[in-house]
Structure 1
Amino acid sequence: ERSGWVVHAQADRIVGRAALAADLPAPLSDWTLLVVESRTDALAPARALSKRLLATMGLVLMLALGLATIGARRVVQPLSELTDAIRSLAHDADARQVPVRSDDELGRLAEAFNRMAGDLHQAQDDLVEAEKFAFVGELAAGVAHEIRTSLGVLRSSAQLLRQSLPADANAETAELADMLGAEVSRLGNVVDDLLTLHRRDPLRLEPTAVSEPILRAIDFVLPKAREKNVAVRFDPPAEEARVRCEPELVQQVVVNLLVNAIQAIDAGGHVEVGLLPPRDGFAGFHVSDDGPGIPPDLRERIFQPFVTARPGGVGLGLTFVKRVIHDHRGRIRLQPAPHGARFEVELLLAADEENEEA
């Protein structure tokens, strides 16, 4: 087509509908190249691109809203759980723990709250224990002082009675006199235990290797163990932790646990003492035996005064043990064991040991 024959305004009539046209003069001639295309076909790629852009933007917006919702839920849910736990803690020290769902600030906040709740619960238990021991100690001291004088008179009378018996006295009479003296001595030991519960002297703490009071306690109970044919095993390691304690009191704790174990098991039984590795600022030991163990109905109350699993027992030995460890700010537990009983005692590490552990 020659230039000027068709103008752009005539493009619509060429294709019979709305159209777009473009012309380009041919070099070295008077001809012009004219390209005509309907608007629909010409703009189709642009419209398709617009639709894809709109769809992409919509998808991105939906994805952003979804991520925002998930993010908000991850923030709101832990905060809601923490708020509920704080409200519960205000009314009950046994409030539930907050789930730790992440390692970020919210997770660390939940961990801090759980530690605080645990410390509060432990402090409440310690306060209850302290009040319980204080009450028992006051009561025990009053009773002990009242009967100590009478026991002294009975002990002297029993000794005089036994000495005054003629050589040809009836064997049954002599046995009764000996039994009277033995029972008076046993009651005297009970009185001593009661007075020990009322002990108010400040602790004389010193850094002590864990095995030191254990070895002295084992030496003390070995004659009783051999008499009953019970083996006591303890292999102290070459290196061990040092704890802050009053060694004589801890020795009494070990003696009580060993005597209880020896009395509980049959001839030929075994008692084992072992050290516990340092952890969380504590180190300690365990005393285990292969006897009948503690009855299930007594396990929760075994440290309470006058609770005992041994026929004829008074039930003050473990109360004394609990009191001593409590005064040391330590921990004592009756652990589950497949056979027999296992008591674990933990005491605070000495300062130099704490630095090494850190």
Structure 2
Amino acid sequence: MRQPLRRQLFLPFGILVVGATVAVAVVTAAVSARTRQADAIQRLERVVETLRASQFPFTPAVLAQMHGLSDAQFVVREPDGSVRATTLDPVPTELGSGRFSANEVVDRLTLAPSVQVGDVAYYAAELPLTTGIERGTLLVLLPVRALRRLGWSAAWPPLAAGAIASLAVLLMARSIAGRFTRRLDAIGGQVMQIAAGSADRLVLEGPDDELRKLATAVNTVSDQLRQQERTVRQTERMRLVAQLSSGLAHQLRNAASGARLAVQLVQRRHPDVAVRELDVALTQLKLIEDHIKRLLAVGPERGTTLRPGSIEDLFRSVEDLVTPMARHSGVALEFDAHGADSRWVPDLEGVRAGLLNVVMNGMEAAGRGGTVSVEAAAVEGGALEIRVSDSGPGPNPDIAERIFEPFVTSKPEGVGLGLAYVRRTIEQLGGKVSWRREGERTRFTLVVPETEPVASGTTKGVSASCR
């Protein structure tokens, strides 16, 4: 049987507190009632003492005044038992001689067990009168109902206070229990969402306590699981890319090599025809071959020889490749190295392939009449920063946070591998890729480590999988 935490934690606490409150209230009420009754009896004793010590006769008027001071009834009897004066009206016949036993005639007022006089029950005491003026006995009758009323009037305030305090404790315990259980239910719901694989971050209301710490730990677990899920998904996609690229690379590379040989043959036979255009075509075909080779690196790690190059060579080759497309698309291009022309990147071909991909994406986003600017600068830490900004609207908000993941694209004809390839290539060189919106422009930033210049035609004996 399920035992709610509210019942386990707060029910015993509530019972203990309420029990203690009720016990204190009952004891206080009992003490107050006894004290009030004792005060009434002491006041009555003082009245009786005054009567016994008085030197004036006990007339009905005197007895009436004493009745007003003490709420008791008084009866003066002659030695023969006849009633001479009383506050009772009418005078009851059962108060004749012999009504009270000898042990009830005491020197000091003592309440005897209750007696019934008419319809009223009284506590009774009979005291002898021995003054020079009066002889006989004084019968004092204190109504049982009056004495109980005095006790109740003293007892009900602490009882009421105890009841109110108990109710307040119960309501407070219920409120505290509800607040705790609601927060625990929220954490439990978050855990169930994590188990279902669709958990958002939990914002737990309430004070900064252990439950808030627990919610923070749950959020941390959720973030880690989400990151691991993205990593697994990306790994699976990379594996799929590797499988697809392995099957297509051989055929595509052969086709590109054949086309490049055909263009070279045309150049040899007609060396003065469309020299620049044929050079661009050869460069593009060579670039296709490089892309096919590097596509395999998106999957498993494979070593690739690094060929460093300068920013000047990088910008010039990219500009030559994209200028014809820019003219055809009506996009204005601007390249500015900001004095970093002589700086060297660790792999000219890899950085050129990544930069070319980003520039072409920017041209497509900017559209006719748009602008694309490419800048380079040296930054702290021995790195080079290459910035590509365009006047386009930026990535679709639905995929903005995942644009570097494989197969993520908003283009109907797109595959979603371009930016994944860019990130993979730059990260293999020990760099990083990022993007952000700056006003009305979108900026992609490629950061790569700077390398020392090397002699022309030499390469570095480092694999692309090294960092």
Give the TM-score category using the shorter length.
0.5 to 0.7
Task: Give the superposition deviation at 1:197.
Answer: 1.8
How has the CA–CA distance of structure 1 residues 126 and 232 changed in structure 2, closer, same or farther, with 3 Å as cutoff? Answer: farther
- With the length of structure 1 as denominator, give the TM-score of the two structures: 0.60
Structure 2 counterpart of 1:293, from 379, 393, 399? 393
Aligned positions of 1:153-192 closer than 5 A: 153-165=258-270, 181=282, 183-192=284-293
Structure 2 counterpart of 1:125, from 218, 230, 237? 230
Give yes or no for contact 1:331–1:345 (8 Å, CA) kept in 2: yes
Deviations 1:236-271 (A, max 9, x none): xxxxxxxxxx9869x949746763576455676556
Aligned positions of 1:325-344 closer than 5 A: 335=436, 338-343=439-444
1:100 matched to 2:204? The reply is yes
Amino acid at match of 2:198: D
CA distance in 1, matches of 2:377, 2:177: 52
- Secondary structure of 1:101's counterpart equals coil
Task: Give the superposition deviation at 1:321.
Answer: 2.9
Q: Which residue of 2 is the match for residue 50 of structure 1?
A: 155
Structure 1 counterpart of 2:74, from 10, 13, 23? 13
RMSD: 5.5
- Secondary structure of 2:156's counterpart equals helix
- Secondary structure of 1:83's counterpart equals helix
- Secondary structure of 1:13's counterpart equals strand
CA distance in 1, matches of 2:424, 2:241: 11
Q: Which residue of 1 is the match for residue 13 of structure 2?
A: none
Amino acid at match of 2:288: L
Query: Which structure is larger by alpha-carbon Rg, 1 or 2?
Result: 2
Aligned positions of 1:150-229 closer than 5 A: 150-165=255-270, 181=282, 183-198=284-299, 200-201=301-302, 220-221=314-315
Give yes or no for contact 1:225–1:232 (8 Å, CA) kept in 2: no
How has the CA–CA distance of structure 1 residues 70 and 337 changed in structure 2, closer, same or farther, with 3 Å as cutoff? Answer: farther
Task: Give the superposition deviation at 1:120.
Answer: 0.7
Q: Which residue of 1 is the match for residue 105 of structure 2?
A: none
Amino acid at match of 1:140: S
Larger deviation, residues 106-115 vs 260-269? 260-269
Aligned positions of 1:259-338 closer than 5 A: 259-260=359-360, 263=363, 265=366, 270=373, 289-294=389-394, 296=396, 299=399, 302-303=403-404, 316-323=417-424, 335=436, 338=439
Structure 1 counterpart of 2:221, from 107, 113, 116? 116
Amino acid at match of 2:256: L
Task: Give the superposition deviation at 1:55.
Answer: 1.2
1:230 matched to 2:331? The reply is no
Q: Which residue of 1 is the match for residue 165 of structure 2?
A: 60
Unaligned runs of 5+ in 1: 24-29, 204-215, 236-245, 276-284, 348-358
How has the CA–CA distance of structure 1 residues 121 and 86 changed in structure 2, closer, same or farther, with 3 Å as cutoff? Answer: same
Give yes or no for contact 1:197–1:320 (8 Å, CA) kept in 2: yes
Structure 2 counterpart of 1:3, from 32, 45, 53? 53
- With the length of structure 2 as denominator, give the TM-score of the two structures: 0.48
CA distance in 1, matches of 2:346, 2:182: 51
CA distance in 2, matches of 1:55, 1:84: 43
Task: Give the superposition deviation at 1:52.
Answer: 1.3
- Secondary structure of 1:72's counterpart equals helix
Aligned positions of 1:75-94 closer than 5 A: 75-90=180-195, 92-94=196-198
Amino acid at match of 2:393: G
Unaligned runs of 5+ in 2: 1-50, 76-86, 89-119, 128-132, 305-309, 324-331, 340-344, 379-384, 449-467
Task: Give the superposition deviation at 1:60.
Answer: 0.6
How has the CA–CA distance of structure 1 residues 328 and 130 changed in structure 2, closer, same or farther, with 3 Å as cutoff? Answer: farther
Deviations 1:264-323 (A, max 9, x none): 556765567899xxxxxxxxx995724113363884674465777899998643021344
How has the CA–CA distance of structure 1 residues 229 and 195 changed in structure 2, closer, same or farther, with 3 Å as cutoff? Answer: same
Amino acid at match of 2:392: P
Give yes or no for contact 1:288–1:340 (8 Å, CA) kept in 2: no
CA distance in 1, matches of 2:271, 2:447: 55
How has the CA–CA distance of structure 1 residues 56 and 320 changed in structure 2, closer, same or farther, with 3 Å as cutoff? Answer: same
Task: Give the superposition deviation at 1:81.
Answer: 2.6
How has the CA–CA distance of structure 1 residues 321 and 70 changed in structure 2, closer, same or farther, with 3 Å as cutoff? Answer: farther
Give yes or no for contact 2:394–2:437 (8 Å, CA) kept in 1: no
CA distance in 1, matches of 2:231, 2:217: 21
How has the CA–CA distance of structure 1 residues 224 and 293 changed in structure 2, closer, same or farther, with 3 Å as cutoff? Answer: farther
CA distance in 2, matches of 1:269, 1:297: 21
Count of paired positions: 301
Amino acid at match of 1:80: D
How has the CA–CA distance of structure 1 residues 152 and 2 changed in structure 2, closer, same or farther, with 3 Å as cutoff? Answer: closer
CA distance in 2, matches of 1:229, 1:197: 29
Q: Which residue of 1 is the match for residue 244 of structure 2?
A: 139
CA distance in 1, matches of 2:239, 2:183: 42
Give yes or no for contact 2:363–2:372 (8 Å, CA) kept in 1: no
Amino acid at match of 2:391: G
Amino acid at match of 1:341: T
Larger deviation, residues 301-310 vs 115-124? 301-310
